[in-house]
Amino acid sequence: AKSNGKNTFHFYRPSMQLLADQHLAMERALHTALEHNEFYLHYQPQVDHNFSIIGTEALIRWQHPEQGFVPPDQFIGLTEETGLIIPIGCWVLQQACTQLAQWQEQKLCPPHFRMAVNISAKQFDHPQFLNMLSDVINRTGVDPNKLELELTESLLVKNMDATIIRMDAIRAMGIALSIDDFGTGYSSLKYLKQMPINQLKIDKSFVMDLLTDANDRAITETIIAMASHLQMDIIAEGVEDAAIMDLLVRLGCKHFQGYYFSRPVSAENCSQLLQVQKLP
């Protein structure tokens, strides 16, 4: 081991060991979580400028029996590293489509409604992903036109050709594709214009400081212009108040998601919102 002195060595090793132990414990807990049904989904409405609901984003939740609620940012990364995202992501898609099928049956989906599901790059790249996707659609009987996959920019830069083939196959099924956290990665116009993408989602890190940060405003304006040139839809996430929404409307943004409209809510609460179709 490297040493700048004994203290460094002693400090370094136990902390690495601790980290490894924590990861192992978390990995075991995630396995159990899947077996014991500790995951559930919340749904966050997406709205147009009239506050009418145009879609919902499915977001995973984990209620651990002892640790309590564990936010997805604290475990999704590990599920990607360990490969657990494959069964967990499959569960998420199955669950979201089961809910969508129910809302369809109850005639609660407004026209052009879409259920957005987050798909990590690891999942998208998995050889069985397309089979799994069509299995879930067939099993649940959802209208694929009402399904949208939120992908991240990391997909756009590697294996371009393979990615495009896959995206085309998904679009051919009727499913829409949205690029999540847009602006935080490295995708260039050159990649983007070759991809069959329906929508760009402006990351909340730009949206939240829109009123005060000139750079974030410039980036947001550029993304909106870019989407319009590429004939893609645009949605802003992380909209927390009226002033930000007003500015986004002036910049040409048509769709919105954020605490200003609704937090992510349970399926039951979301059903109630869908009955009204418009947020207060």
CB nearer to Ca ion: pick between 148 and 180? 180
Q: Which of residues 95-154 bind ligand C2E (CB under 6 A)?
A: 118, 120
Report, in Å, the least distance between residue 216 CB and ligand C2E: 14
- 163 in contact with ligand C2E (CB under 6 A): no
Q: Which partner in Ca ion, ligand C2E, none is near 258 (CB below 5 to 8 A by kind)?
A: ligand C2E
The site string for ligand C2E over 31-50 (x = CB under 6 A, - otherwise) reads -------------x------
Contact call for residue 92 and ligand C2E (CB under 6 A): yes
CA distance 43 to 32: 24
Q: Any contact of residue 60 with ligand C2E (CB under 6 A)?
A: yes
- Of 42 and 171, CB closest to ligand C2E: 42
The reply to whether 181 sits near Ca ion by the rule CB under 5 A is: yes
Backbone angles phi, psi at 42, to 5 degrees: -110, 160
Nearest distance, CB of residue 11 and ligand C2E, angstroms: 32
Q: How many helices and strands (H and E) does the chain possess?
A: 12, 9
Q: CB of 79 within 8 A of CB of 91? A: no
Alpha-helical regions (H) of the chain: 6-35, 76-82, 85-105, 121-125, 129-140, 154-157, 160-172, 189-192, 204-207, 214-229, 242-250, 267-276
**Residue 93 burial class via C-beta count within 10 angstroms: exposed 0-12, middle 13-18, buried 19 and up:** buried
Positions in 194-213 near Ca ion (CB under 5 A):
203
| Cα dist from 16 to 20, 23, 81, whole Å | 6, 11, 17
Nearer to ligand C2E, 121 or 160 (CB): 121
Q: Beta strand 53-64 with 68-70: parallel, antiparallel or unpaired?
A: antiparallel
Instruction: Assess 148 for contact with Ca ion (CB under 5 A).
Output: no
- Residue 181 interacts with ligand C2E (CB under 6 A)? yes
Contact residue for ligand C2E among 59, 192, 235, 248 (CB under 6 A): 59
Q: Which amino acid is at 100?
A: L
- Whole-number minimum distance, CB 121 to ligand C2E, in Å? 9
Spatial CB neighbours of 101, under 8 Å, sequence gap ≥ 6:
140, 141, 142
Residues of this chain that bind Ca ion (CB under 5 A):
118, 150, 180-181, 203
Residues of this chain that bind ligand C2E (CB under 6 A):
44, 59-60, 71-73, 76, 89, 92, 118, 120, 180-181, 204, 237-240, 257-259, 264
